Amino acid sequence: MKRILMLGLLALSLLCGTAFDKTGEGMTIWFDTGGSVGDGYGTIVQNGAKAAAADMGCELRLLYSDWNPETMITHFRNAVAARPDGIVVMGHPGDAAFGPLVDAAVKQGIVVTSIETALPETQARHRAKGFGYVGTDNYTQGKALAEEVLRRTNLKKGDRAFVWGLKRIPDRGRRAQAIVEMLEQAGVTVDYQEITPEIDKDPVLGAPVVAGQLGRHPDTKVIIVDHGSLTAQMGNHLKNAGVKPNTVYVAGFSLSPATAAAIENGYVQLVSEAQPYVMGYFGVVQTVLSKKYGFTGFSIDTGGGIVDAANIGAVSAFAKQGLR
């Protein structure tokens, strides 16, 4: 059903240049990209949002939150005060923090939707008013990646894996939770470390963590990084730790130019693709359509499967353009 809906929305988006030409003309959409200016993952989200705004003819106001939930809330308050037609958020602060603020925004006629991290309780209350979700089911995606890693590496009981994640963030943390659960069920010894707010904002700062893990536990066979921009830095972090390509099996999330290069160079072996460009694009499209025509909020699964050395050649050019 989700795949059918996705195909239907793709077809609908094509109509934006014909029957729905400039449907969003006169509308203003505030859009939180999640990351910092120039952030690898957030930039791809932003590129999708910009393309949709151009297709739909709406004005787009971009916000950058440095992956800080408190900043996301501040930006949302500022957006509501500006009375735009719609606001697209990332759900990292969670339902408890966002819920009352979204309630107030919806009462003012503002269409709100979430991308990348769901707000299930808030969506349930306001779906009829256009509140949707564009992204992956975090638990399902984490579970699928862990299962694929187990299948490909033949990890056995007692083998060691390092998982680097964001359990503290509501809903978003379910992805790391699923990864750890799957590995532990297989008898793998899991060293889990939470990504600090500082590294979340600037993944370059993660180099000492990788070096420290491998220094303490040189028997680490697998590293799973639950963070798109950190996955993009793994080639640099492993080089700085003196690790040669294809020595440690590294899996992560989301493509970027740096991640594509790391796959090609043998520093990253497996990526689960959440397709952030699609999140950005359909986050804007669904908000505009719900505002214009009163559509119920869509639930769009952007999960795009697995990327590895076998198929990176087919998508690397798009990654380098900031589209994948």
Give the per-residue pLDDT at 195: 97
**Token pair listed for 161:** 């894996």
Whether 41 and 113 map to the same domain: the answer is yes
Q: How many domains does the chain have?
A: 2
pLDDT at 3 over 60: no
- What pLDDT does 320 receive? 83
Do 65 and 14 share a domain, yes or no? yes
Whether residue 194 has pLDDT greater than 80: yes
Assigned domain for 173 exists: yes
Average pLDDT of 220-231? Answer: 96
Beta bridge partners of 163: 192, 224
Q: Assess whether 151 and 62 both reside in one domain.
A: no
Res 315 pLDDT > 50: yes
Q: Note the pLDDT of residue 234.
A: 97
Tell me what the pLDDT averaged over the chain comes to.
92
Tell me the pLDDT tens digit for each residue of 177-192: 999 999 999 999 999 9
The residue ranking higher by pLDDT, 170 or 225, is 225
CATH number at residue 17: 3.40.50.2300
- Give me the DSSP letters along 116-185: SS--HHHHHHHGGGT--EEE--HHHHHHHHHHHHHHHH---TT-EEEEEE-TTSTTTTHHHHHHHHHHHH
Residue 224 · residue 145 · CB < 8 Å: yes
Q: What tokens does 76 get?
A: 């949302």
Per-residue pLDDT, averaged over 6-21, amounts to 49
Identify whether residues 123 and 168 lie together within a single domain: no
pLDDT of residue 7: 43
The predicted structure's pLDDT at residue 39: 85
- pLDDT mean over 144-158: 96
Please check whether residue 322 lies inside any domain of the structure.
no
pLDDT at 9: 53
For residues 16 and 126, membership in a common domain is answered with yes
* 238 domain-assigned: yes
Q: Are residues 44 and 128 in the same domain?
A: yes
**Domain identity same for 12 and 115:** yes
Residue 11 clears pLDDT 60, i.e. is over it: no
Strands 59-63 and 28-32: parallel
Q: What is the pLDDT of residue 305?
A: 87
**Of residues 2 and 96, more confidently modeled:** 96
Say yes or no: 260 and 281 in one domain: no
Are 15 and 121 members of one domain? Answer: yes
44 and 77 inside one domain? yes
Question: Are 154 and 251 contained in the same domain?
Answer: yes
Q: What is the dihedral of CA 41, 30, 90, 320, to 10 degrees?
A: -10
Could you report the per-residue pLDDT of 229-282, keeping only the tens digit for each?
A: 999 999 999 999 999 999 999 999 988 889 999 999 999 999 999 899 999 999
The reply to whether 320 falls in a domain is no
CA distances from 286 to 23, 74, 172, 174, 232 (A): 11, 23, 22, 25, 29
Sorted by sequence, the CB contacts under 8 Å of residue 223 that are 6+ apart come out as 161, 162, 163, 164, 210, 213, 234, 248, 249, 250, 251
Average pLDDT over residues 158-165: 98
267-299 pLDDT, tens digit per residue, is: 999 999 989 999 999 999 999 999 999 999 999
Place of tokens 């999640």: 34
pTM for the predicted model, two decimal places: 0.87
Comparing 2 with 280, which gets the higher pLDDT? 280
Residue 324 has a pLDDT of: 82
Burial grade of 66 (CB within 10 A; 0-12, 13-18, 19 or more):
middle
Is residue 318 a part of any domain in this protein?
A: no
319 found inside a domain: no
**Residues 87 and 20 grouped into a single domain:** yes
Section 185-203 average pLDDT: 96
Of the CA atoms within 13 Å of residue 50, those in its CB half-sphere come to 11
Cα angle for residues 181, 187, 189 (degrees, 5° grid): 80
Residue 40 is predicted with a pLDDT of 81
pLDDT, tens digit, for every residue of 124-146? 999 999 999 999 999 999 999 99
pLDDT digits (tens, 9 = 90+) for 43-61: 999 999 999 999 999 999 9
pLDDT beyond 60 at 157: yes
Domain boundaries, position 259: 138-272
In this prediction, residue 4 carries a pLDDT of 43
Residue 285 lies in a domain: yes
Q: Is residue 197 a part of any domain in this protein?
A: yes
Contact between 171 and 99 under an 8 Å Cβ cutoff? The reply is no
Q: Do residues 288 and 27 touch, judged by C-beta distance below 8 A?
A: yes
Rounded Cα distance between 202 and 197, Å, is: 9
pLDDT digits (tens, 9 = 90+) for 54-91: 999 999 999 999 999 999 999 999 999 999 999 999 99
Most confident range (mean pLDDT) of 33-42, 115-124, 310-319 is 115-124
